[in-house]
């Protein structure tokens, strides 16, 4: 499960980086920046739902803070 979450974070950061690249390169002439940001939002929502589903299924457990 840790690997899946790590891969999802890498994809989210990659989508954010591609949005920045398209923003700098296209200078507002195309909608590729909007598409990349929409992809980032979709990936973030999917990751959140995956974590919730995993918790409900018992695949992950909360550990809390240890002092």
Note the pLDDT tens digit of each residue in 4-33: 999 999 999 999 999 999 989 988 788 999
Give yes or no for residue 42 having a pLDDT over 80.
yes
Residue 37's pLDDT is: 93
Mean pLDDT of the residues in the chain: 91
Greater confidence (43 vs 1) lies with: 43
Please count the residues of the chain.
67
pLDDT of 67 > 70? The answer is: no
Note the helical H segments in the chain.
Answer: 2-26, 32-57
Q: What is the average pLDDT across 45-66?
A: 90
Residue 16 CA to residue 45 CA, distance in Å, equals 14
């Amino acid at each position: 499960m840790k690997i899946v979450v790590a891969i999802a974070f890498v994809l989210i950061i990659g989508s954010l980086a591609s949005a920045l690249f398209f923003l700098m390169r296209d200078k507002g002439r195309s909608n590729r920046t909007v598409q990349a940001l929409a992809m980032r939002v979709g990936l973030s929502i999917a990751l959140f739902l995956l974590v919730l589903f995993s918790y409900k299924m018992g695949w992950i457990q909360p550990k809390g803070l240890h002092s």
